[in-house]
Structure 1
Amino acid sequence: MTDTPDNTQSPGQTLSARAEAARAERLARQAAALRANLRRRKDQARTRQDNTAEDQPCATTQPPGNGESKTCP
């Protein structure tokens, strides 16, 4: 995803130092929240993928001929 500039300001409008600092803090909080959300979603997807892999039975066509039982990897 690409970062796009924030176009909420009019071209001739300037923010005070206090307003600019508040805006920067807000953008930093938003970026941190987005990173944390992405991390949570990736962890959730990995957990679902791991659970799906564990639920599937071993795909053996015939038992081994030496009397030993074959285990799934």
Structure 2
Amino acid sequence: MSKKPETLDSQAPAARSSEAERRELDRKQRAAAKLRENLMRRKGQSRARRAGEADETQGLPASSPSAAKTDESS
């Protein structure tokens, strides 16, 4: 039997690890971009809440006596 050259086999693990490192770096960059996007969105939501007037309601609107429904079955 003839033995295959080991040059291709010996480079394969290094190529796999560099490919894995590149994928991991890409994943980390995507995660960092998503975190920045989320942070900017949340900051915008916070600013929008502060820009509005204070909420004067007490509890749920449906729980007020004026909003109570009458029972139509009787």
1:17 aligned to 2:2? no
RMSD: 2.2
Q: Give 1 or 2: higher helix fraction.
A: 2
Superposed CA deviations along residues 16-60 of structure 1, whole A, max 9, x for unmatched, are: 111111100000001111111111111111100000001112355
| 1:57 partner SS | coil
The structure 1 residue matched to 2:31, chosen from 25, 32, 35, is 35
Structure 1 residues not aligned, in runs of 5+? 1-13, 61-73
Aligned length: 48
The structure 2 residue matched to 1:57, chosen from 43, 53, 56, is 53
Q: TM-score, normalised by structure 1?
A: 0.56
Task: Indicate the structure (1 or 2) with the bigger Cα radius of gyration.
Answer: 2
**Larger RCO: 1 or 2 (CA < 8 Å, sep 6+):** 1
Percent identity of the aligned residues?
17
Letter in 2 for 1:33: Q
